[in-house]
Structure 1
Amino acid sequence: MIIDPVEVLKKTKTSGQLLPTGVPSKVPLPTVVPNPVDYQVVSETGTRTLWVVFIVMVISSAVFAGLSWRVPVSKRLYHVITTLITIFAAISYFAMATGHGVGVNHIKIRHSHQHVPDTFSYVDRQVFWARYVDWSVTTPLLLLDLSLLAGLNGAHILIAIVADIIMILTGLFAAFGSEGTPQKWGWYTIACIAYLVVVWHLAVNGRAQAQAKSQQVASFFLAIAGFTIVVWTAYPIVWGVADGARHLSVDGEIIAYAVLDILAKPVFGTWLIITHQKIPETNIDLGGFWSNGLNREGALRLDDDGA
């Protein structure tokens, strides 16, 4: 008897019985999905930006040093401070462009659900701590430039510089802070409060002292200090969007800080030095040790005491 396989399949389908195939059925096993890690690192665009800013800072340092040779040593204080600012910035950008001065902040993010256990995801984001080292040196020098321009006393200068250093260090701590804890945004809040102290000394005390010099000095100080405050205010905003909330990529962060650093250092320095040379009231004539060093005229002799 010849068996038609088609008829057999039809009967099997209607009867609900399965034919033995000799191959075990494949049952899907539950899969374990590993916690995803989002790597946020610099790309070629960010690296090129770092090299460009490094070159800008080197050229600015050379220009400022050349301008200092055109004035007497006793009147080079602004030139020296401004040149040091761009030199330190160049060193920082060279470190970042070559891959040094960079750390990774490992961030653990909790995702809460109603009917299933919480899940976690991870972010490994590069943090350029060399940038904070740069700021901890260059921003006090910038404040010193503005303080000398306004004629602030030593007490106000010291408080403003200390508040500025606190602002930079707490910003660094916040960049490496843990996610989901008061630690990260607590450091950020302290940094913002310290920044308000800096603004207070510039906007209130600095403006009052500048007006005591002359109207021309007061107008110049108001313009350049206002420019500095606007630029500096953008830094914590970029931090909050980039390192804080991570809505900005590492490349975007680098580009944003690059623009601000160029405005706050080479542009600021060029404006200060050129305008300072046109306003005699801003001169700070430093004689003595600054210009002449230690010489025999100021030495103490035993004969002068009658011994």
Structure 2
Amino acid sequence: MVVPEPGSLQSLSLWIGSVAMGLAALKFLWDGWSVRDPETQEYYVITIFVPAIAAVSYFSMATGFGVVSFDAGPGMGETVIYWARYADWLFTTPLLLLDLCLLAEADRNTIYTLVGLDVFMIGTGVAGALAREGQTIRVVWWAISTGALLVLLYLLFETLSEQASRLSADRASLFGRLRNLVIGLWLLYPVIWILGTEGGVELFGLGVETALFAVLDVAAKVGFGALLLRSREVWASDAAGSAAPADD
């Protein structure tokens, strides 16, 4: 195990991330505890699991379990990789996409395509992070993963947005805000990766890299969930309206 030095920026970022995610999961759980409508419950179940999974991931990294250190090859040397971060993303990012798809009332093919691209993106990112052949091959894997991300975000902006445009103005507006939040934040992940220690450029150190990822994770997970659930009346009223029997 590689336990972050207590009191370091790296350690503080991981513990703060763990606490923030855990508190968010408890808050979402509290707010949704009394919900009885099945469609509304669906949003809460998905959204609660996002920070809950992230909290466990951050706890594992803070305690030294979710991290490995190895020689990454020529030009890289000893490299610290938080593998639990990728495990977190592998589960939480599809859940975030599923929330967006439910909000947009997306068809199954769109959902499968977005989730498939997302899993491919994370998987190739893991390959890049764990590559031991030096910086060049890591950059190649980064380029493949980033390419998948760009295609995914394009589909969010085009295909999913087109489907959301058929909804009520309030629901479409909420979808647009959440979509823009996801696009804006997710575009920053590969930038931090390539400029930090994992990509080998090392414009900043592991402590700053860890802190930046923590800020992005909290904003992308807690911020997304808070905005979605705070606007419950938008999608809850739409669900109730669609379930209501038509007048004779």
CA drift of 1:109 comes to: 3.4
My pick for the range that moved more, 194-203 or 262-271, is 194-203
Residue aligning to 1:170: 124
Residue aligning to 2:246: none
Matched residue type, 2:218: I
CA drift of 1:186 comes to: 1.7
What percent identity do the matched residue pairs reach?
Answer: 32
CA drift of 1:45 comes to: 2.2
- The structure with the largest helix share of the pair is 2
Question: Which of the numbers 261, 270, 273 marks the counterpart of 2:226?
Answer: 270
CA drift of 1:241 comes to: 0.7
The answer on 1:133 being equivalent to 2:133 is no
Within a 5 Å distance, the mapping from 1:3-22 to structure 2 comes to none
CA drift of 1:201 comes to: 2.1
Within a 5 Å distance, the mapping from 1:17-28 to structure 2 comes to none
CA pair 254-164 structure 1, distance change in 2 beyond 3 A: same
CA pair 282-125 structure 1, distance change in 2 beyond 3 A: farther
CA distance in 2, matches of 1:280, 1:53: 30
CA pair 143-130 structure 1, distance change in 2 beyond 3 A: same
1:47-101 CA deviation, whole Å, 9 max, x = no partner?
Answer: 1221111111111111101111232141211111010001100110110010001
Residues 170 and 234, structure 2, Cα contact 8 Å, conserved in 1: no
CA drift of 1:281 comes to: 5.3
Residue aligning to 2:213: 257
Residue aligning to 2:239: 283
Which TM-score applies when normalising by structure 2? 0.89
Which TM-score applies when normalising by structure 1? 0.72
CA distance in 1, matches of 2:241, 2:58: 33
The answer on 1:200 being equivalent to 2:154 is yes
| SS of match in other structure, 2:77 | strand
Residues 3 and 63, structure 2, Cα contact 8 Å, conserved in 1: no
Residues 96 and 128, structure 1, Cα contact 8 Å, conserved in 2: yes
The answer on 1:179 being equivalent to 2:144 is no
Question: Which of the numbers 4, 7, 11 marks the counterpart of 1:47?
Answer: 11
CA distance in 1, matches of 2:125, 2:241: 36
Residue aligning to 1:93: 58
Question: Which of the numbers 73, 80, 96 marks the counterpart of 1:142?
Answer: 96
CA drift of 1:197 comes to: 2.2
CA drift of 1:280 comes to: 4.2
1:239-269 CA deviation, whole Å, 9 max, x = no partner?
Answer: 0111112222111111000100110011110
CA RMSD of aligned residues (A): 2.2
Residues 4 and 62, structure 2, Cα contact 8 Å, conserved in 1: no
Residue aligning to 2:112: 158
Residues 214 and 281, structure 1, Cα contact 8 Å, conserved in 2: no
CA drift of 1:127 comes to: 0.4
CA distance in 1, matches of 2:224, 2:54: 13
CA distance in 1, matches of 2:58, 2:242: 32
CA distance in 1, matches of 2:204, 2:80: 12
Matched residue type, 1:253: E
Residue aligning to 1:228: 182
Long gaps (5+) in structure 2: 244-248
CA distance in 1, matches of 2:160, 2:142: 26
CA drift of 1:283 comes to: 3.0
Residue aligning to 1:80: 45
CA drift of 1:108 comes to: 3.6
CA pair 232-285 structure 1, distance change in 2 beyond 3 A: farther
CA drift of 1:167 comes to: 0.6
CA distance in 2, matches of 1:203, 1:62: 31
